[in-house]
Amino acid sequence: MDYEAELQTAQGAIMAAADLDALEALRLAYLGKAGSISALLKTLGAMSPDERQTTGPRIHALREGVAGALASRKAALEGAALEARLAAEEVDLTLPAPASQRGSIHPVSQVMEELAEIFADLGFAVATGPEIEDGWHNFTALNMPESHPARAMHDTFYFAERTETGEELLLRTHTSPVQIRAMQATGGTQPLRIIAPGRVYRSDSDATHTPMFHQVEGLVIGEGIHLGHLKWTLETFLRAFFERDDIVLRLRPSYFPFTEPSVEVDVGYASTGGRRVVGGNGDDAGHGWMELLGSGMVNRRVLTAGGYDPDRWQGFAFGLGVDRLAMLKYGMDDLR
């Protein structure tokens, strides 16, 4: 067999292949399982050692030559195909761009902004305090001394370090320490009307409790302040927040070390289609009461710790869970 002539014929056919499909057909015809060169390679086994020594290298050279020709023709055809595509395609700059996803404000941030706006209309300024608090502001000044059992009621995250004065350092468990900081800032000489929105932390996690959540503290200090002012303020705020006039509040006696008397405030809601819709008297059929916040008249000891004379000044305070308020307003049923 003339392997040289065979190679030239094959090379000619390969160079003449017009496209990649034709080239693949040729590859199969020569080098595929049933290809002609594969068949030649199989004959090697039946040859005598001498014959194999002379013929083997020729068959292998033929296979190498064909494989090389296939590879170079493939590269040429692919290059030509790319050139053709580049020449044929053009960029249409008039096509509309795909719509991009826009972010939106987190429901909790949105609710905090709404709260600040409503309370600003009622004359409340926004006050802030640190999230890393000391034990004195978070507990002691709020009438929860070291041995007080209420101190253990808050599952607190503590730091290993202490302050320079030896106070324990912790992640604040409520926004109430801002009451103390705001009182101290006036020197005990002026009326106060503030809200303090912010993050608070407790070692707690399930569908209605998360380790980090948001509270808004409210504090009003003045002369002649009483519980009626608290009730009016909360009713006015909740009507504006839920945009409904039929908000009914229920004040339940409660206990917080920093307020005396203390009241927990529930709001009436209707259950419709599995969702709680705020409004109406919670005692009516199909209605219920939901706890919204803790509040009360500021304890005399807390006024004193904040630098106010409790014989002259009175105040009310409240602390509400923003996350729950957001769940209620936007119909979410799991805090996480």
Nearer to ligand FA5 among residue 77 and residue 212 (C-beta)? 212
Q: How many residues bind ligand FA5 (CB under 6 A)?
A: 25
With CB under 6 A as the contact rule, the residue among 138, 140, 295, 314 that binds ligand FA5 is 295
User: Does the protein bind ligand FA5 through residue 256 (CB under 6 A)?
Assistant: yes
In angstroms, what is the minimal distance from the CB of 155 to ligand FA5?
9
Q: What are phi and psi of 178, to 5 degrees?
A: -65, -30
In angstroms, what is the minimal distance from the CB of 261 to ligand FA5?
11
Q: Of 317, 332, 292, 323, whose CA–CA distance to 112 is shortest?
A: 323
* Candidate ranges 47-55, 127-135, 202-210, 267-275; the one touching ligand FA5 (CB under 6 A): 202-210
With CB under 6 A as the contact rule, the residue among 204, 239, 277, 288 that binds ligand FA5 is 204
* Candidate ranges 101-109, 161-169, 210-218, 244-252; the one touching ligand FA5 (CB under 6 A): 210-218
Nearer to ligand FA5 among residue 279 and residue 319 (C-beta)? 319
Structural tokens at position 296: 């009360």
* Candidate ranges 23-31, 109-117, 191-199, 318-326; the one touching ligand FA5 (CB under 6 A): 318-326
DSSP structural state of residue 131? S
Pair 239, 247: CB distance under 8 Å = yes
DSSP structural state of residue 98? P
Q: Of 202, 197, 217, 93, whose CA–CA distance to 154 is shortest?
A: 202
Nearer to ligand FA5 among residue 31 and residue 212 (C-beta)? 212
In angstroms, what is the minimal distance from the CB of 142 to ligand FA5?
8
**Residue 227 one-letter amino acid:** L
For residue 256, is it left (φ>0), alpha (ψ between -120 and 50) or beta? beta
In angstroms, what is the minimal distance from the CB of 239 to ligand FA5?
19
Q: In a 10 Å sphere around its CB, with 0-12 CB exposed, 13-18 middle and 19+ buried, how is residue 274 labelled?
A: exposed
**Residue 312 one-letter amino acid:** R
Q: Cα–Cα distances in Å, from 3 out to 41, 49, 61, 175, 313?
A: 13, 19, 9, 92, 113
Residues that bind ligand FA5 (CB under 6 A): 174, 176, 202, 204, 209-210, 213, 215, 217, 256, 258-259, 291, 293-296, 317-321, 323-324, 335
